[in-house]
Structures are given as C-alpha cells and as structure tokens.
Structure 1
Amino acid sequence: MSSNPDEILMCQDTPVSTQALSTPRPATELPAEVLSVLNDPLVGIEEPLSEWLIAHESAEHVTIMHELEKPVDMGAGDIRSYALITVAAGENQAIPLEAPWGLHRSTLCTPSIDLGSLTEAGVTLDPGAPPRSDDEQIALLVTEQGCNSGQPAIDRIELIELSETETTVELVIGVQPNTGGTCPSNPPTPFTVNLEQPLADRTILNAAVAPARAVTLP
C-alpha cells in the first residue's frame, strides 16, 4: 500500500484514501442515524459493523468497506478483495431505506490507483506463451472492464508504467475507453510488454491495484 496517506485510490469508481485503509476507523463510529440505516436487512450486511471500515463520510454519502477473508476471482484477472456499500441521502438511491437515506451501491471491488482518463483492466499471463526466464518480452491478456459491446480493446491498451527491479517487474496498464457501447463481458486482448533485461526469476506484478498483485495465468 502506498505510504502517502493523502493518495486517493479508486474502488469501482468510488474514491477512497490510502489512510482509510491503512489506519481504518470502524463503521461503529458513524452517527447513530447512519448505523440504523446500515443495520436495515435490505442493506444485506452479515458481518458485525465493527469489521467494516469507513471509506468516506459526508452529510449525503457514507461508504463503508470490508476486506474479504478470501478474494473473489471474477475471471480474466479481475480479483475483488473488498465488499463496498454506499448509502446516500436524497437522489441516486437503488433501494429507499429510512428517509432520507437509501442504498446507493453494494458491490465487490479492489482498490486501484487512479488511471485518469484510462479505465481499469484485468491482466493475466497469456497461456499460449507462458513466461520463461530468458524472455525479454511478456505476453499478456488484457481484458477491458469498461463497456465496449463485448469487443476486444485492440489499439487502446496503454502501458502507463513499467518498473523493473532485481526481484520484480511491475506493470501499470490501462485502456483508453471507447465511446458508448453496451456492457456484456469483453474478450481478452493480447498485449506484449518489452523488458529492459531478461525476465529471469522475477515476479510479474500488476501495480495498478493496491497492494500490487502477482500476474498469473487465467
């Protein structure tokens, strides 16, 4: 995790500071009014609220997160490590609760760095060309997570950052979003990364997520 407490990460389009994750405040510290809303069975929280952390708190939006005991592999390199719930006062409610509050979002996510205009992507090794120690290239499969009508992300994948150390190869990859489109699952797109030196026994890491995670076969 980044050591900068002011850095803002994204979790399914929801901003959360690194400080909220590194020095968490339990959800039980929220006002009684909000706790009453979160305890509504329609919210669907099964764990004690003391196990949830406050990711964001304002007069109109409250987001809490709970680290999963075992991350959920959604496939194609998309691995979710947190449950996230947002309740909102006013508009944008999926399920009305105690007025003025309602459930805005309930999802699974993984904290990731802000990619700016680019969107997140699932990243795996290409099983057709698994890495070898003498390779000076890494063959990857990149799966766009934004809406693209189930089409590949050809010519829109960008290697934002490549950092090579003695023990790791750290990759930050994003996808230039397409305009419009429906949201079925997108297919993986082959993508090759050129290295400055042979891979050897270094670990390949997806550094777009926080903390960085090893890139594996799908």
Structure 2
Amino acid sequence: MDPLATARVGLVVGIVTSAVVALAGCASAGNAPSPAPSATDTAASSTAPHPLDPDTILTCQGVEVSAGALAERMPASELPAELAALLEGSPVVPIDDLDDWFLAVSSDEHVVLMRELDPPVDLGAGDVRDFDLLSVSATPGAMPIDDTWGVDVSTSCSPRIALDGLGEVSLTLDPAAPPQADDRELSLLATEWSCNSGQPATGRIEVVEIVETETTVELVVGVAPHPEGAYNCPSNPPTPLTVDLQRELGDRAIVDASFVPAHEITAPTG
C-alpha cells in the first residue's frame, strides 16, 4: 500500500477510537495524491496503525496546523502572560477561559488556538465542524487587538490533510439510495466548498483513495479546479458520485478519511 493509503487507514482508526494520538500513516504533506484507484485495485487492509508524521501539515478552514500540534494539544495557558491577557480581554473575539483551548501554532508573530467542540457542530450537507479556531498575528491586516496583535481568523473547522491540486468537498450519503448490506456500490453526494456560482461540480469530482477494511470503507475525495473565470458564492448543490466496492458493504462504516480524525459519512441533515 502506498504511503497516502496507509495514512488514510490510520485516520479511520482515529474516528473509531476517538483518540487523535492513534492517527496513522506515513505520508508527509509533500506527497502528491495517487491516481483514483478502481475497486479491483484496492486491497482490503489490515495495516496496524502508525503515528502520523508530526510534521504533516493539515488545513482547518485554510489555516495550517501540524498533526503533531493537534496530537500534543499544548495548553493555551503556556502562552506568554501578556498575550494571554490580551486574548482573554480582547474586544474583537474574547476568550472566556483559556483552559478550554490548546496551542496549534505558537511563534513570536503567529498564534493559533483551538478547542474541541463537544458535540461537533453539524452545518448540514456533510459539513461537520470539530473545533473552534482563533488565529492571531502581528500583521497590519488583522483586526487589531492592540498596537501589535490582531485577529486574522475566527471560525469553526475540521482539520484535513491537504490534497495537492484538489479542492475540498463534503460527502453525504444519497438519501434517494441509502446503503444496503448487499450493495457493491455506494451512492454519495459531493458538495464543493469553493465558489462555483451555485453550480454542481459535474465532471470534476475525483476519488483519490478507496481503502476497504473488514470494518470500514475509507474514502478520500477531492474536486479538480474549475476553469478560470469569475465565480460568485451562493451555496453549491451536491454532485452525485458513485463508488464501486470490491465486495458487499455488509455492516462496514463508510468514512471520509481526509479528515483528522476521520468522519463517518451519513445522510444529509438540515
């Protein structure tokens, strides 16, 4: 199995155990995605989990964090006292209790704080957010907290492994064709996250990885860039996607293994 596939297997273990430290893989952020495999090219995997490379870069609503920082979760109380006081008293995005947050990025000019959401926030169409994130920087463009620091991002998000050259999609089961135990194919809906003028991503959805194990069907799906041009941002409709399986689905969980930890793919909500 190639390194990217091994990484996906570990991410699925993460959702089963709910422990980020159990994330698996050998891939680094520089690995390019492999071509989309067919079901006949994808062997069932019994690979034991390995720690995800701590230097692997994840993205959370466009903000980069490392897998190591996500696993380590250094308490936000480790911030310098002056900066901690600024954040707790910030009129821009006040933090009521730093003890709820951990440091995902910490440098002299950039700090990213995250806190886990329990339960996660389900925004519908497969968009489930596991964390709150606050990014502050010593840059002129940020929303100022004081003469030096400012907020540049405040959002909820779920970390994902970046797929070189491909955009992000959210996946749901197709409610018109819910999965059955004897199915040899999955009917899914893929919704492009980037602006596409409210149009589906027909012809651009790419299956990067399909890994079948005894307990899971692990999918990594992205979307190829759309043609150059100007696109506005009403909500994009879902694009139908059919995925062939090597054997009958049975009672295996269907998961999106691009997330860290992986997300189970369910019917759309909202």
TM > 0.5 between the two?
A: yes
Structure 1 or 2: larger strand share? 1
Within-5 A mapping of 1:45-124: 45-93=94-142, 95-124=143-172
Structure 1 counterpart of 2:232, which letter? T
Equivalent pair of 1:112/1:208 in contact (CA under 8 Å):
yes
Equivalent pair of 2:205/2:223 in contact (CA under 8 Å):
yes
Change (3 A) 1:146 1:76: same
Equivalent pair of 1:8/1:114 in contact (CA under 8 Å):
yes
* RMSD of Structure 2 on Structure 1 (CA): 1.3
CA distance in 2, matches of 1:197, 1:138: 11
Structure 2 counterpart of 1:185, which letter? S
Provide the residue aligned with 1:44 in structure 2. 93
Greater relative contact order structure (CA < 8 Å, 6+ sep): 2
| Aligned residues between the structures | 217
CA distance in 2, matches of 1:159, 1:47: 42
Provide the residue aligned with 2:188 in structure 1. 140
Structure 2 counterpart of 1:136, which letter? R
Identity of aligned residues (%): 49
- Larger deviation, residues 175-184 vs 65-74: 175-184
Deviation of residue 41 (structure 1)? 3.6
Q: TM-score, normalised by structure 1?
A: 0.95
Equivalent pair of 1:146/1:177 in contact (CA under 8 Å):
no
Matched, 1:175 2:206: no
CA distance in 2, matches of 1:174, 1:42: 38
Gaps of 5+ in 1: none
SS in structure 1 at match of 2:74:
coil
CA distance in 2, matches of 1:23, 1:90: 27
Gaps of 5+ in 2: 1-22, 25-50
Given candidates 194, 197, 206, the residue that maps to 1:149 is 197
Given candidates 238, 246, 249, the residue that maps to 1:199 is 249
Matched, 1:35 2:84: yes
CA distance in 2, matches of 1:208, 1:103: 28
Q: TM-score, normalised by structure 2?
A: 0.77
